[in-house]
């Protein structure tokens, strides 16, 4: 299941940025959202591997404070799909601000995970 979801993240989601009327900068910014989402997922998964639990600030997303790998990556894929749908329906002038706001939120989450002791760990 984890390999399937990771494959979806790597292949399907980034290809979305070539659809619609995204400008080159929109595509680049969506690419950074995809990258940040993957990094956030990797740091979250690394944090949870040793028995830690998720902060009560974010456990509502997963409906548990200790999500399985499938649930974690499934939520990440849904978030990326949602960001794409929102951005595609925004006027072109608003997209850059939206993508920058999403990147800032993900950067905050990554920074929090790293301060909590998470690292980068890719296992298959």
- In this predicted structure, the answer to whether residue 88 has a pLDDT above a threshold of 60 is yes
**Whole-structure pTM value:** 0.79
Residue 31 — very low, low, confident or very high, per pLDDT cuts 50/70/90?
confident
Percent of the chain whose predicted confidence (pLDDT) is above 70: 77
Neighbours of 111 (CB within 10 A): 12
Residue 114 — very low, low, confident or very high, per pLDDT cuts 50/70/90?
confident
Q: Are 2 and 69 in contact (CB under 8 A)?
A: yes
């Amino acid at each position: 299941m984890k390999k399937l979801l990771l494959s979806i993240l790597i292949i399907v989601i980034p290809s979305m940025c070539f659809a619609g009327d995204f400008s080159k900068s929109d595509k680049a910014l969506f690419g950074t959202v995809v990258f940040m989402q993957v990094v956030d997922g990797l740091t979250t998964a690394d944090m949870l591997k040793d028995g830690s639990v998720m902060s009560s600030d974010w456990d509502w997303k997963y409906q548990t404070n200790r999500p399985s790998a499938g649930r974690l990556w499934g939520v990440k894929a849904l978030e990326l799909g949602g960001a794409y749908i929102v951005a595609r329906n925004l006027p072109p002038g608003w997209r850059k601000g939206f993508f920058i706001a999403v990147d800032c939120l993900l950067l905050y989450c990554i920074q929090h995970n790293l301060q909590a002791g998470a690292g980068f760990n890719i296992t298959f």
